[in-house]
Amino acid sequence: MEKDSTLYFLNLMNYALGIAIGSVALSEYKHHRNTTPMLIILAVIIAGPLEDLLVRVIQEKPIPGHEKERAIKLVDQLTSLGFMLFLLLAAHNSG
């Protein structure tokens, strides 16, 4: 199977931006003890790489299609809740 170069490029850009956000968050915390960027990067990790990992694990499990679909939707909803919770905490923390 050939790699889609556009999707590959976008995936690399997403990881690069995630690493940049993480670096800024760590720097802000180290120099200013500002936790807001840390909360934002946690939200990004939950909705990005963590969700991708959990979906991949589910897809590789030998479970019936309808259960697999439900499990993936459950992961989607739970990671969305986690994302929103950390953004709410970041918004509350920044004020």
Residue with tokens 């200013």: 32
Residues of the chain scoring pLDDT < 50 = none
| Residue with the two structure tokens 């919770």 | 85
What is the pLDDT at residue 94?
A: 87
Q: What pLDDT sits at residue 62?
A: 94
Cα separation of 76 and 52, whole Å? 9
pLDDT at 3: 76
pLDDT at 42: 95
Structure tokens at 40: 């934002």
